[in-house]
Structure 1
Amino acid sequence: MGGLVYISFAEWNKHMTPAARLQAAIEILDRVIAGAAAEQALTSWARASRFAGSKDRAAVRDHVFTALRCWRSHAALGGAETGRGLMLGAVREAGADPALMFTGDGYGPSRLTGDESVARTPRMTAAEENDLPDWIWPMFSDSLGADATAAAQALRHRAPVHLRVNLRASDVADAQSQLAEEGIVTERLSIAPAALNVSEGARKIRNSKAYTSGVVELQDAASQAVVEALPLRAGLRVLDYCAGGGGKSLAIAAHADCQVYAHDIDWNRMKDLSPRAERAGVQIELLRTAELSAQAPFDIVFCDAPCSGSGSWRRAPEGKWRLTAERLAAVVETQAEVLQQTAQLVAVDGVLAYATCSMLDVENENQVTRFLQSNPEWQKTLSKRWLVQDGADGFFVALLKRHS
C-alpha cells in the first residue's frame, strides 16, 4: 500500500490536477482494501492534504465512492482489485483514454505498464456486471425477479438528495422558495406529499436558513413514504422503536398531532433528536429500554428493523462488500426477535408496522410470514415495497394488526 500524497506549501493555492485527484483516490482505496473504513480513510487524507480545496476533496470523494459502488466491474476493467486497478477501470468505463491520466507527471498515477495498456473487454458474470457479491446475487435476483438488474444498476450510481418539508413550519411551495433564495433548486416528488428532490446546491443545505430553522430535513423520499403508510391520526400514542437518529420520529410528529415516543437500544444514536425536535417545533419523548413496559401499550409501534441495508447501498456502498451470509443470517434472527418483542408493546386493535431498508425477501415478506405463522392472532393489512430504480431508496413496510 502506498503512502498518502504530500505536496509542499508552495502548491497551497493551486488546485489539484485531475490526475492528482485520481492518484489520491487510488491511495485512499488502497487503505480501504487494507481494512480502513472509507470515511476514515478520506478524513485522514483530507487532514494530511491541506493543499486540497473543497472542489478537490469533493472530486476525490466522488472517485472513491464510485469505486465502492462499482467495485467488481471496475476491477474487471482495470485488471486488479487494487486502488490503481479500480481507478483504471473507472477511466475505461467513462470512455476516456487512461494514457492521458496515467502519465507519471506531477502527482498523478505512474505510467501504464505494458499489460495495463491493453484495453480489457472481460467476460463478466451477472454478479460482476451488477456489482454484487457472488453469494448474494441469486438471492437478490430471486427477490426482485425481472426488476433485479435495474435495481442492481441503480445501486451503481450516486443516490439523489431528498428533503422533507416540515408541514408544521411551512408549506412545500414556500419551502422551495426559501431554498431557491439560497441557490438550492428543488422539484416536488410524487412518492410523498412533502418530498423534494434537490437538483442544484445540495452542498449548501446544511448551512441554509430553511434547514437550520427546521423548515426542511434531509430525508430520503422512500423513508417519508413509509411514514405516510402508517395509519396516523391525532391523539394516537406512537412508538418509533428503532429510532436511530430520529428522522422518522420527526416525520411522524410532523404528520399528525400524536404523542410520539422514540427508542433505540443504543441511546447515543438519539443524542441529537431532542434539539432536532425543538428546531422542528414538535415534541418527542425519548424512552430507554427499561421504560418501555411502563409506557406500553402503544396504538402504533413502528419498527424500522436492523437490516442488510441493501436498499441504501448506493449511499453506503461498503455495506454490500462487508455483508456476509453469516451476518445476514444473524440480522434475520435479530429481526425475528425484534418483531416478537415489539408485538408485546402494541395495544389491542393497535398496529405493528415492520419496515426495512432492504430489497431482500428473506428480510421482508418471508420475515412477516414467519411472524404470522407463529402468531396466528395477528393479520397483515398492508404490504408495500419501493425499489431503488424508482428514484428513492429501496424500502419495505408491512402493517400488522392483532385480532380483537
Structure 2
Amino acid sequence: MTPGARVAAAIEILDQVLDGQPAEQSLTRWARGARYAGSKDRAAVRDHVFQALRCLRSFACLGGARTGRGLMIGALRDEGADPDTVFTGEGHAPTPLSDAERTAGSAPESEGDRLDLPDWLVTAFGASLGEAAEPAALALRARAPITLRVNQSLKNRSQAIAMLSEDGIQATPLDIASTALIVHDGARRINGSTAYRDGFVELQDGSSQAAMEALDMPDGARVLDYCAGGGGKILALAARQSGTWFAHDADPRRMKDLPARAERAGCTVSCLSTPDTVAQAPYHLVLCDVPCSGSGTWRRAPEAKWRLTPERLAELTGLQAAILSEAATLVRPGGVLAYTTCSVLACENADVIAEFLSNSECWTLEFDRSWPISDDGDGFYLAHLRKPA
C-alpha cells in the first residue's frame, strides 16, 4: 500500500468509529477485507487511527472537520506535512482537497481542543491533578511505551535483555521497577520470542510493576487478586516470593488464559468462583484492581476518553466502593487490602479510599501513591490498607 492508500484506509475506519463502532472491531473488519495489506500496512493504518483518536479535537480543528477525512488532514498538518502531497487521488489515495478544505482549519484554541479532552474532563483533570493536569492531558496525546516485566524467579534483567536481543528485540532497564524493561525496537516480535514463550518476560506497564513491588506480604502468604482480569498482577506477585496464589473475576472468561500463563511462568494460580473466594478466606493480601475509567491508560485505548460520560463515571465510583467493601471481609486480621486503579481522577482514587475509611474506622491507610503518565508507565494509583490484628 502507498502512504496515500494507508491514509484512505484510516479515513474509512475513523468514520466508522465516529459513528459509534469500536475501533478494534473496525480495524479487524478492514484487515479481513484488505487481503492485499501486509503486516506493515496494517500496523501503519492502526497507528494512523489511534493517533487520530488520541488527538481527536486538535486534529479536527487543524483539519477543519470532525470526520475521518478532516482528522487525517489535521494529522498531516500537525506533523508539518502538506496534505496535498497525500490527498492526490492516485494509487488509492484519498481524493484531492477541495478549495474549501485547503482554507479550512485553524490551530486549537479552547482548553478542550488544545488538550484533546471533552470539556467536562478538562474540569475533572484540573480538580484532580492541579498543575499536573495539563502535562497529563498532553501526555495522553502520544503513544504509550512498550514495557516488559522480567520474571525474576526465572531470569534476571540482563539475561532477559540478552535473550530478547537474540530475537531482534532491543530493550533496556527502567528505573521505575526492578523488573521493568522498555522496548525500543522489535516490539512486534515479542509474542514470538523465546523469552516470552518460555515465561521469562510478560508485557506489563511499568507503573503497574512498581505498584506490585510496593505491596507488603509475608513469605508464604495467601494472596487473592479479587479483580484479576488476565492475571498479570497476580503473576507479578507470584514471581516475587513463595506463596499460595488465587485469582477471581466477576467475569471468569477474562481469566481463561491465566492457568496457561501461570504454568509458563513457573507458578500455580487457582481461579476461584465468587463463593470459593469466601470458602478459601482469609488471605494475607487481597488486591482489588477495580474497574475504572482507565484515564491513566488512554494512550493505549484513546476512544475511551471520548466515550466516558459523567454518568458512567458515577457508576464506576459506586462499583469501586462496593468491591472494596466486599473484598475487605476476606482479609485476615493484620492483613493488607490493596486498592489500585489505572486512573488519574481523584473521584476514583483518594475519594473512594476516604469514603471506605469513614465507614470502616478500624482500618488504617498505611500509604497511598500515584504514578503519573510518563515515558516509563501509565497513570496508576495504589492505596495500601491494613486491617487491625
Is 2:84 aligned against 1:104? Answer: no
Q: Which residue of 2 aligns with 1:246?
A: 231
Amino acid at match of 1:309: G
Q: Which residue of 2 aligns with 1:5?
A: none
Indicate conservation of the 8 Å contact 2:145/2:375, yes or no: no
- Match of 1:121, SS state, is coil
Q: Which residue of 2 aligns with 1:275?
A: 260
How many residues matched?
389
Is 2:34 aligned against 1:49? Answer: yes
Distance of 1:236 and 1:123 partners within structure 2: 53
| Alignment counterpart, residue 82 of structure 1, candidates 67, 87, 90 | 67
Q: Which residue of 2 aligns with 1:198?
A: 183
Distance of 1:128 and 1:258 partners within structure 2: 49
Is 2:30 aligned against 1:28? Answer: no
Indicate conservation of the 8 Å contact 1:150/1:389, yes or no: no
Once the two structures are overlaid, the 10-residue window that deviates more, 74-83 or 97-106, is 97-106
- Match of 1:136, SS state, is helix
Unmatched tracts of structure 1, length 5 or more: 1-15
CA offset at residue 232 of structure 1? 2.4
Distance of 1:332 and 1:179 partners within structure 2: 40
- Match of 1:300, SS state, is strand
Indicate conservation of the 8 Å contact 1:219/1:247, yes or no: yes
Distance of 1:161 and 1:122 partners within structure 2: 31
**Shift in CA distance, 42/390, structure 1 to aligned 2, threshold 3 Å:** closer
Over the aligned positions, Cα root-mean-square deviation in angstroms equals 1.0
Q: Which residue of 1 aligns with 2:56?
A: 71
Once the two structures are overlaid, the 10-residue window that deviates more, 242-251 or 113-122, is 113-122
Structure 1 outlier segments of 4+, above 3 Å? none
Q: Which residue of 1 aligns with 2:330?
A: 345
| Alignment counterpart, residue 114 of structure 1, candidates 99, 102, 105 | 99
CA offset at residue 214 of structure 1? 0.6
Indicate conservation of the 8 Å contact 1:65/1:317, yes or no: yes
- Match of 2:80, SS state, is coil
Q: Which residue of 2 aligns with 1:295?
A: 280
Identity among equivalent positions (%) equals: 54
Amino acid at match of 1:144: L
Distance of 1:46 and 1:163 partners within structure 2: 27
Q: Which residue of 1 aligns with 2:387?
A: 402
Distance of 1:390 and 1:61 partners within structure 2: 21
Is 2:343 aligned against 1:358? Answer: yes
Distance of 1:295 and 1:233 partners within structure 2: 18
Distance of 2:35 and 2:175 partners within structure 1: 43
| Alignment counterpart, residue 159 of structure 2, candidates 174, 177, 184 | 174
Q: Which residue of 1 aligns with 2:214?
A: 229
Q: Which residue of 1 aligns with 2:4?
A: 19
Q: Which residue of 1 aligns with 2:376?
A: 391
| Alignment counterpart, residue 142 of structure 2, candidates 138, 157, 172 | 157
Unmatched tracts of structure 2, length 5 or more: none
Once the two structures are overlaid, the 10-residue window that deviates more, 191-200 or 137-146, is 137-146
Indicate conservation of the 8 Å contact 2:176/2:376, yes or no: no
CA offset at residue 55 of structure 1? 1.0
- Match of 2:343, SS state, is coil
- Match of 1:175, SS state, is helix
CA offset at residue 233 of structure 1? 2.9
Is 2:129 aligned against 1:144? Answer: yes
